[in-house]
Structure 1
Amino acid sequence: MEDSETDALLGSPSINVISTSDIWPHKGKYWKNLLALSVAFTFNFTAFSSLQNLESSLNRDEGLGLASLSVIYGSLIVSCLIAPAIIRTLGLKWTMFIAILSYVIFTAANYHATFYTLIPASVLLGFGAGPLWASQGAYLTTAAINYAEITIELQETIINRFNGVFLMFFQSSQVWGNLMSSLIFHKDAANHVHPIGNTCGAHDCPSQNNTGNSFAPTEKNVKDLLLSVYLASGVVSALIILLLLDNLLPRARESIESDGLSKRLLSTVHLLKEYRMFLMVPLMIYSGVEQAYIAGDFTKSFISCTFGVQMVGYVMIAYGLTDAVSSLILGRIEEYVGRISLFILGAFTQLGLIVVMLLWVPSPDYEWLFFLIAALWGLGDAVWQTQIASFVGVLFPEHQEPAFSNYRLWQALGFTISFAYSNYLCVNVKLYLAGALLVTSMLMYGTVEYKIRHIDVRYAEI
């Protein structure tokens, strides 16, 4: 479809759009709500991100943990398609509040994890996650654009700054959640023995059926203690959204408010017909693949296989800490070095790590290398999370719900594919696939940058 046809469906892609939102007059209110949003997501994902890192190790019988993660992100794909309609019906704040409750239910289902409890809870979480992230992206981008208007600053600069602050808080959830799991599992460390004879790292294959077999299961009372902490964290997150976050209307043309349900449901699909969105799809998928790899395969085949589940949290703290700090720094320096430089940094960092992990045989004698790999992978992830979200906000300021729904949809597809084939492919094959996808993604991203800078005059200034 030509750009003119897409414009007719979705409105003009001009950066200067008509706002239907109430612009708060005081700068302090923007920072207050940005802080509330950031802290709420920190509490919620302190529970979920850490539990996700542990699923493949805690619930490894019959692949239940990885199956539940695959179901979550498969359901998320569907929920992203209907997210704009849900947000238009409930509003940004109430969408986030209800969605966070689905995460609380998933945590509770882990108390008695079976296919009959965990899989339905995973479906529910997946249907909540799409609207959650679409509404978060729309809320943050709207606030940033409105803030830029009252401070007379560049929209892209403020969007990057707000994303940097939010993602610093959000990625720190890896630190807090993994610290909790490490301290709690440390008491259970005596139950684990060194994995003699296991093939760990890139050569770990499901057919060998040996990863983690030498570890005794975690004691139920220890697991329940951890889940109780995570459950409380999720409840606090929901309360912060309910009590401290102000309502905010997304920026859009007045006509969108009167659109029929069918058009709202199709808005996500329609936006794919724009080259700006279509060419970014592989990078969005990769951003899900790389997160799924570090959470599912690196934790299971490198850390748990070599040391035991009690070390997962400690190593992943390095990942979360670097991710959080890098997110804040990247959000600040983008206006000086440009997003292209940052995308290249992320690509070369993770490509280099893929090569290292293909060649390296994990050993307890090189414990520091586990932490270094996790930290550098966190740097790469910070690039994808800050820059893709900011770029989507810049390119589609007037179509935020379908734009961020697309982003989370394709990212979820990356998660789903990774978790789905995790029980069938060797780790080295997964690394080769991730590397090939990353190279392809960067080539297509480069095409977007070239077109908006040299061909599409509407974006000559960004």
Structure 2
Amino acid sequence: MADWRLINVLVLGIGFMFIFSAFQTCSMVEQTVITDARDAPNSTFTGNGYTSLATIYVVFAAANWIAPSVVALCGPKWSMVLGGFLYLLFIASFLYPMTWALYVGSVLVGIGAAVLWTAQGSFLTLNSDAETVGRNSGIFWALLQSSLLIGNLFSYFELRGATTISDSRRTVLFGVFSGACFLGVLSFVFLRKAPFTSSKEIQNVNISSSGIRTGPGEPNGTEVVNVMEDRPAGPVKALVQSFKLMATKNMLLLSVCFAYTGLELTFFSGVYGTSVSNTKILKDPDALIGICGMFIGAGEIIGGAAFGLLGKRTNRFGRDPIVLLGFLVHTVAFFLIFINIPDIAPIHKTEDVAYFYSVFPNEYVAVLCGFLLGFGDSTFNTQIYSILGFMYPDESAPAFALYKFMQSLAAAVAFFYSDVLMLKWQLLILQVMCVLGSFCFFIVEWGASHLHGPGMYTSID
């Protein structure tokens, strides 16, 4: 029984690795690919990458409220097959760019994302118990984050030396992405129904919507958390619970931090890669997107391992020092990007230098900034998972729904303004929200520490 659960977790992680090797790399090169397709001779294509990505996150935010019903109807396994298939349709639409297909695909993948992640959380719960949940969530996290390395490594070799992404090069790129996504969807078909789990085995298990364990820690080091129901709550009930929770002081404060993670998600997953590609004074800028993406993934993996999987050791002084580290890392990253990347780069191609005319864009600084963006993102997200599980053990579903909702909504807003605002204004918005989000997190964390006493910290280990 235990062996089949572990096999299920491995197959689940591999499936997500294939799907997100394709999708996350697709997101990073989307605006560049679309710009080149739009500028091609005799092209009738008028799509916009930022608008497409904004649409994805708007729909994703809204679809979070219907996804539990889909999972209850179809079951976790076939819900993941459905969600993954919608990702495949979106990626395949780039093989022959058509404006209507781009935006229809964006709507479909937004729905697919909500269904896929809700089903994944449920499936991982059913295949875990109190003793294996840490191991299983760690395996899933590692396989998921490796997608950034794999997809961007292929992107680097495929785009190396390219000045534009031609039709033939785009066909190869998205043909491989489509194939990888198909393998991910196919792997879900081989998932087996989880063996029967007694209530004693699962009474201490709780998996968030992203599949990472959360829960309150006790002074003696043990953890007591609640199990996600086998049948997810309906969207109306979840919505009512979420709005009630949203009205509380702590959740309003945390929502500022949630929104910040959405803004910086937009920046590192779409805007930064486009800006690097558009900086033509850099050496081989299109291929550099892949290298930056790999280092974003490396930062995510290292940060996730340090503050998630090894959280009992690194969280001994609480969550606020880790969030403070994330704040400092992102502040340094934003400053280096400001002095390294031209102001107009998020919008169109340029051979300008950055803000200081004596400082020319540098490939090594661009790659370093990618690592800092990924590492800082992991610090914020691991500690958000931790504090939500700690403070809302009996309301984890609406708490995480609010987190995903606010994050997705902020990401959508950021993609809308990314196509019109110069880089300095985007970085200013990020820095202001970084300060506000960190400060609001500190207030909630200090309040929780005061109420529950020292040592009452949890992690996603």
For normalisation by structure 1, the TM-score amounts to 0.77
User: Which one-letter code corresponds to 2:171 in the other structure?
Assistant: D
Partner residue, 1:114? 98
Partner residue, 2:374? 378
- How far off its partner does 1:29 sit? 4.8
Deviations 1:362-394 (A, max 9, x none): 577732111111112111122233332344344
Whole-Å separation in 2 of the counterparts to 1:85 and 1:321: 35
| 1:427 correspondence with 2:423 | yes
| 1:344 correspondence with 2:324 | yes
Whole-Å separation in 2 of the counterparts to 1:452 and 1:231: 46
Aligned partner of 1:300 among 274, 289, 292: 274
Q: Where do residues 203-218 of structure 1 align in structure 2 (5 Å cutoff)? A: 217-218=164-165
- How far off its partner does 1:257 sit? 5.7
Partner residue, 1:7? none
User: Which one-letter code corresponds to 1:128 in the other structure?
Assistant: G
For normalisation by structure 2, the TM-score amounts to 0.77
- How far off its partner does 1:448 sit? 1.9
| 1:238 correspondence with 2:185 | yes
Partner residue, 2:21? 46
Partner residue, 2:147? 173
Q: Where do residues 126-141 of structure 1 align in structure 2 (5 Å cutoff)? A: 126-140=110-124
Give the CA RMSD over aligned residues: 3.0
Aligned partner of 2:50 among 47, 53, 66: 66
SS in 1 for 2:264: helix
- How far off its partner does 1:138 sit? 4.6
Partner residue, 1:3? none
Q: Is there any run of 5+ residues in structure 2 with no aligned partner, and where?
A: 39-45, 198-204, 207-225, 341-352
Partner residue, 1:93? 77
In the alignment of these two chains, the number of paired residues is: 399
| 1:285 correspondence with 2:259 | yes
User: Which one-letter code corresponds to 2:159 in the other structure?
Assistant: F
| 1:443 correspondence with 2:439 | yes
Change (3 A) 1:417 1:245: farther
Partner residue, 2:8? 33
- How far off its partner does 1:222 sit? 1.2
Aligned partner of 2:156 among 182, 193, 202: 182
Change (3 A) 1:78 1:396: same
Do 2:307 and 2:314's aligned partners in 1 also have CA atoms closer than 8 Å?
A: no
User: Which one-letter code corresponds to 1:115 in the other structure?
Assistant: T
- How far off its partner does 1:346 sit? 1.3
Partner residue, 2:288? 311
- How far off its partner does 1:319 sit? 1.6
User: Which one-letter code corresponds to 1:354 in the other structure?
Assistant: F
User: Which one-letter code corresponds to 1:227 in the other structure?
Assistant: F
User: Which one-letter code corresponds to 2:30 in the other structure?
Assistant: E
Stretch moving more, 67-76 or 90-99 = 90-99
Whole-Å separation in 2 of the counterparts to 1:272 and 1:172: 34
Stretch moving more, 255-264 or 265-274 = 255-264
Do 2:68 and 2:234's aligned partners in 1 also have CA atoms closer than 8 Å?
A: no
Change (3 A) 1:254 1:313: closer
Whole-Å separation in 2 of the counterparts to 1:112 and 1:392: 43
Deviations 1:153-209 (A, max 9, x none): xxxxx65x65444332212211111111121222xx35x2xxxxxxxxxxxxxxxxx
Q: Relative contact order: is structure 1 or structure 2 higher (C-alpha 8 Å, sep ≥ 6)? A: 1
Aligned partner of 1:220 among 167, 176, 189: 167
Q: Is there any run of 5+ residues in structure 1 with no aligned partner, and where?
A: 1-23, 152-157, 193-216
Change (3 A) 1:359 1:263: same
- How far off its partner does 1:263 sit? 2.3
Change (3 A) 1:368 1:300: same
Change (3 A) 1:40 1:399: farther
Whole-Å separation in 2 of the counterparts to 1:297 and 1:130: 23
- How far off its partner does 1:259 sit? 6.8
User: Which one-letter code corresponds to 1:326 in the other structure?
Assistant: G
Aligned partner of 2:68 among 84, 87, 111: 84
SS in 2 for 1:218: coil
Whole-Å separation in 2 of the counterparts to 1:266 and 1:117: 35
SS in 2 for 1:425: coil
